[in-house]
Chains A and B, each alone.
Chain A
Amino acid sequence: MRVMNILESCLGVRLLALMVKETRQILRDKQQLFLLTFPPIVQICLYGFALSPDVHDLRLGIVDECKTYKSRELTSALIENQVFKIARGPDDLNSMMKNIERGKVDAGLVIPPDFDRQISQGHQASVQLIIDAVDANTAGITQGYATQMVQNYAQSLLQEQFIRPVVSQVTYAYNPGLISSWFFVPGVLGLVLTLTGTLVSSVTLVKEKDSGTLEQLLMTPAESWEILVAKIVPLLIMLNGTVLLALAVGKIMFDLPFRGNFFTYMFVSGIYIFVVISIGIILATVSKNQRQAILTSFFFNLPLIQLSGAISPIESMPDFFRMLTYLDPLRYYIDCIRNILLRGVGLEVMWKEISVLACVAIVLLLSSAAGFRKQLS
């Protein structure tokens, strides 16, 4: 009760009453609560477990026409680091070629009969490696790996002790284990917040429109800004809850690191929640009914997600599309949370992204408030 009194003196009776009403409405609506909790959990798990560009266990068909110690050594050198695994099956050339054509194996190695003889006579023996390049990206990485592995094995065969002239010490910064979910889960955190936030905020407003209670609200002495603030604040708190929930799921299911500052994270998320809520309000004011609101949000979300870098990296996009990504607020948010979670950097690096987000939030919030007020009057 004391808390209520303090709040009342700060906010004024009307605003507080409205807020209590909104909070009760949200808490009463099981569907709303479901929307705030269930889809985020499922989506994070689904994206985290289903999306992975890893290159490992490629099925390698082997036609070893030489069948000596050296040729077997070569194959075991290739499967040593789990990029390839040997596909069992007939080992004649024809059936292997067919298997590649059918997509039953991903790569095929052909070792000619004179492989061993060529090497022992000091000539260069050549082996053929055929890679299925339908998946251009995987094929490129496979090609690089295979070249290096064959080269290394060949160097180990040299007569005189071979000193490698240059050793490259590769450090994978931020994600030394190359865990792919560490890339996708922060992206999905942003994506989930966008989808849930726009949906929930547009639905709460449109529902009031649909059921005609918006007129009743107008009859009350409450100002239009009070109505709007009372709508936004509970949503803001709920969506912060979604952020924490999503973060916890990422931590528990995927062991996501948290290297940056927690308060920076909540601060950036808070700004982005404003963006999301404003988008929801704008959608709700533009559309006449719930159906339109949801249909329009569906079409907005598609480019919003595609251009955000949540699923496919922005650096790889063609120039024109990379330019387009700068118009996508979600892009900045995902950038920031990847920065905080994985890179562990703070405001000194991200101030540009954060100020862009803040500007977007202010512009959208003002225009959504203006649109809402126009509708009320």
Chain B
Amino acid sequence: MKKVLAQCKKELAQFIRDKLTVALAFLLPFLSLMLFGFGVRLEIKHIPLVVQNFDSGLMSYDLVDRFFNNEQFDAHKWSGSRPLEDALDKGLAKAGLIIPPEFSRELRQGHTATVQVFVDATDVNNARVMKNSVIGTINGFLQDNRLVPNNLPIKAEIRLWFNPGRRESLYVVPGALVVVLWIFPSLLAALAMVREKESGTILQVYASSITAAEFLFGKILAYMVIAGAMAAFLILCANLFFNIWFVGDPTPYLLGLVLFLFSALGFGTLIGTRMNTQSAAVQAVATGGFTTALLLSGYLYPIRNIVYPLSLLTAVIPARWFVQLSRDSFVRGGGWIYDWYLPVFLAIGAALFFRLAHKNMSKMQLKA
């Protein structure tokens, strides 16, 4: 135990001395959180829309006005002489609406009028959002003009739970916290491990009486202190900038956080024992850690959409379980009854990474 603490102390002293790693531990995670938290939004807010109105009836003007006065749209007129597809081709608009010449007359006579809606479907997600907004606006127009029966036999009362205002930051930020808390601790741990190899001090460690487990544990303990401080700092930032705080019992999250950071550090150390140069270690963390945490954790797009054999892989990615725990704690307010199994998975992950790193380390020791 004494050896572990001594190792931990030495590691902390080394950490504080190196300005680059201190920046790595606080400045860059902060910047990344801001970038992810503010910069990533999925839903388009002001849809650039062009309207081509061939009708001169009052009804058509009313409909067009609704698009112009709606916050959701950034509407412009498009003259009748140019084809509407041009606006989409040139990227001037993302959606287009054509109102046919007979529009008002058809409506007055009780026939069906057809309007054409063009949606730029390059971005599939926003294509759906735009289609829904256009149809919603048209439906509002029909209801206000009493063109559809107001008392339909069924009315759906829709409730949005947990996030009634549909704030996207509530979805993005808890996930971004997880991604950031995975990349940077693992990067720090990998660099610390490889540095020992590059400078040759690892041989001194082999020669000393410290065992591989003690050595690794001391290293990880030191970085747990740093990563814990990083996490506390980032959670405070998230609270300050995005107004996010624990809903309900924070203890599952806090326990999960400790285990998650332990697995991140274990992963980093594992990479560190594998790689021989700092550049190779950074690359390995960047591709192995960053890509998996970004793509397979469900941080941005739902996990259920991942194609089948690949979706099995998500089960072994700690970030995936911690994203779930993070959202439960910051948005849903889960508590122990619901989330008891998530820390268990994270603990398994932590143990696994530590075990692998230890195995690698012992192997190296034998060789030396």
Interface check B279, CB cutoff 8 A: yes
Task: Count how many chain A residues have C-beta atoms less than 8 Å from C-beta atoms of the other chain.
Answer: 100
Choose the segment among B4-12, B145-153, B251-259, B360-368 that binds chain A (4+ C-beta atoms closer than 8 Å): B145-153
Q: Which residues of B contact A164 (CB under 8 A)?
A: 112
Least distance between B85 CB and chain A CB atoms (Å): 7
Note all chain B residues with C-beta closer than 8 A to A317: 39-41
**Per-residue CB proximity of A244-255 to B under 8 Å, as 1/0?**
000000000000
Q: For residue B139, give the distance in angstroms from its CB to the closest CB of chain A.
A: 7
Question: What is the CA–CA distance of A312 and B300 in the complex, to the nearest angstrom?
Answer: 9
CB pair B156–A147 under 8 Å, yes or no, is yes
Known: A294-B279, A306-B36. A311 touches B300 (CB 8 A): yes
Interface residues of A in 140-163 (CB under 8 A from B): 140-141, 143-148, 150-151, 153-155, 157-158, 162-163
B154 near A43 with CB under 8 A, answer no
Q: B45 interface residue, CB < 8 Å from A?
A: yes
Q: Take A133-B162, A290-B277 as given contacts and tell me if A316 and B42 are in contact as well, using a CB distance cutoff of 8 Å.
A: yes
| Set of chain A residues within 8 Å of B358, measured between Cβ atoms | none
Does B168 count as interface, using CB distance less than 8 angstroms? yes
| Among B28, B125, B287, B306: residue with most chain A CB under 10 A | B125
Measured CA separation A196–B127 after assembly (Å):
31
Q: Report the minimum CB–CB distance from A137 to chain B (whole Å).
A: 4
Q: B residues within 8 A CB of A146? A: 156, 158
Q: How far is the CA of A144 from the CA of B136 in the complex (A)?
A: 8
Q: Which residue of A lies closest to B313 (CB)?
A: A50
Contact B129 A141 (CB under 8 A): yes
Q: How far is the CA of A74 from the CA of B155 in the complex (A)?
A: 12
Q: Which of B40, B43, B154, B338 has the most CB of A within 10 A?
A: B154
Number of A-B contacts (CB under 8 A): 305
Is A295's CB under 8 angstroms from B282's CB? yes
Given A144-B136, A165-B142, A165-B148, verify A139-B160 contact (CB < 8 Å). Answer: yes
B152 touches A131 (CB 8 A): no
The reply to whether the CB of B213 lies closer than 8 angstroms to some CB of chain A is no
Shortest Cβ distance from residue A307 to the other chain B in the assembled complex, whole angstroms: 7
| Chain B residue nearest to A102 in the complex (CB) | B338
Q: Are B110 and A163 in contact (CB under 8 A)?
A: yes
**How many B residues, CB 8 Å from partner?**
98
**Chain B stretch 81-106: residues in CB contact (< 8 A) with chain A:** 85, 88-91, 94
Residues of A within 8 A of B287 (CB): 39
CA A179 to CA B110, docked complex, whole Å:
37
Q: Which A1-51 residues sit within 8 Å CB-CB of chain B?
A: 39, 43, 46-47, 49-51
Q: Are B157 and A129 closer than 8 Å at their CB atoms?
A: yes
Nearest-Cβ distance from residue A61 to partner chain B, whole angstroms = 12
Q: Is B85's CB under 8 angstroms from A130's CB?
A: no
Closest residue of chain B to A46 (Cβ to Cβ) is B295
Given contacts A135-B171, A136-B168, A154-B152, whether A103 and B332 have CB atoms under 8 Å apart is yes
B121:A175 contact, CB within 8 angstroms: yes
Indicate if A267 sits at the interface (CB-CB under 8 A).
no
B200 at the interface (CB under 8 A from A): no
Please report whether the interface of chain A is mostly helix, strand, loop or mixed according to DSSP.
helix
Q: Are B282 and A168 in contact (CB under 8 A)?
A: no
A74–B43 Cα distance when bound, in Å, is 29
Closest to B307 in A: A49
One of A124, A168, A298 near B153 (C-beta < 8 A) = A124
A165 partner residues in chain B, CB cutoff 8 A: 107, 110, 112-113, 142, 147-148
A324 contact set on B, CB distance < 8 A? 39
Give every chain A residue within 8 A of B85 (Cβ-Cβ): 173
Q: Mark B237-281, 1 if CB is under 8 A from A, else 0.
A: 000000000000000000000000000000000000000011100
Q: Is the CB of B324 within 8 A of A103?
A: yes
Question: How long is the Cα–Cα vector from A316 to B47 in the complex, in angstroms?
Answer: 9
Contact yes or no, B124 A145, CB < 8 A: no
Say which residue of B48, B168, B295, B307 sits within 8 Å of A137 (CB atoms).
Answer: B168
Task: Give Cα distance in the complex from A269 to B88, angstroms.
Answer: 23
Which residues in B have their C-beta under 8 angstroms from that of A151? 139, 152, 156
Within 8 A of B (CB), among A314-363: 315-318, 320-321, 324, 335, 338-339, 342-343, 345, 349
Determine if A53 is an interface residue (Cβ-Cβ < 8 Å).
Answer: yes
- What are the interface flags for B153-175 relative to A under an 8 Å C-beta threshold, 1 for contact and 0 otherwise? 11111111111101110110000
Contact A316 B121 (CB under 8 A): no
Q: List 5 A-B contacts (CB under 8 A).
A: A131-B160, A147-B136, A170-B135, A295-B20, A343-B122
Q: 7 closest Cβ contacts across the A-B interface?
A: A144-B132, A53-B125, A172-B121, A133-B160, A52-B305, A175-B121, A154-B152
For the A-B complex with A306-B40, A321-B39 known, give 7 more contacts whose Cβ atoms are closer than 8 Å: A134-B170, A136-B168, A146-B156, A151-B152, A166-B138, A173-B119, A313-B126
Q: Which residues of A contact B (CB under 8 A)?
A: 39, 43, 46-47, 49-55, 57, 74, 100-103, 118-119, 122, 124-141, 143-148, 150-151, 153-155, 157-158, 162-176, 178-180, 182-183, 199, 290-291, 293-295, 298-299, 302-303, 306-307, 311-313, 315-318, 320-321, 324, 335, 338-339, 342-343, 345, 349
